[in-house]
Structure 1
Amino acid sequence: MFVAAIDDDPGYARGYLGLAWLEIRKLKWNERVDLEATLASAFASASKALEVSPCDADVHWALGVIYLWRGEAERAIGCHERGRELAPNNCDLLAEYCDALGYLGRLEDAIRLVNWP
């Protein structure tokens, strides 16, 4: 359906974002996939979504997850932070960001984020 949406409207960022999340979920759900190929596919789709819709917080969130899986910690954090700037009340993005901080050994930062006023 995401491919059909893109075929119908190549400027529809959510179609590309949906494709990126399908790839990300393969990794999160521990499917047997080629890690590099899956990350490359997710990155290509998320990058296209960013090109089409640079102010979509969910796009930055997806890129943050991809960068985390690629071992690019600073880029992952930067993407999550940009997503939070664009959608400060997105609880799913916040949870994923805290999860990323935990993976990076930054537990105090994660605790601070969830305790913000």
Structure 2
Amino acid sequence: MRKVIAVVPVALAATLLAAPSASAATKVCEGGPLMGGATKVVSVSAGQKIDITVHNHDYRGLLVQIIDDVWDKGLWSGAIAPGKEHTVSHGILGDPPVGHRIRFEVTSNLSNNYTYAIKSDRCY
């Protein structure tokens, strides 16, 4: 009986150490489609740091610029291969909730098969 009791606390401790911390989890605060050849501005209230992901669902390349619309600062500009995605992180100092305004300028105009997702540890 003593051997069984000694094994349970060791197994429980190993499980707790291997589990990811709850603070590291991110949630999708905002997401949706991006139209080809168009500009889309998205406002979201989230934590200080956000991750912006653009996914190309089309069979052709995607040219896009991701811009912080508040400061008119380019965060990333480039091409995304067919079936791939690109993620860029952005952070602002301030007490949460922080209002982020992100502008997507999609140069490719042959398709509307693009999506975006803005993730953060907290969404408001």
TM-score, reference length from structure 1: 0.27
Larger-Rg structure: 2
Scaled by the length of structure 2, the TM-score of the pair is 0.26
Instruction: Report which of the two has the higher share of strand.
Output: 2
As a proportion of its length, which structure holds more helix? 1
Q: 1 or 2 for the larger relative contact order (CA 8 Å, sep ≥6)? A: 2
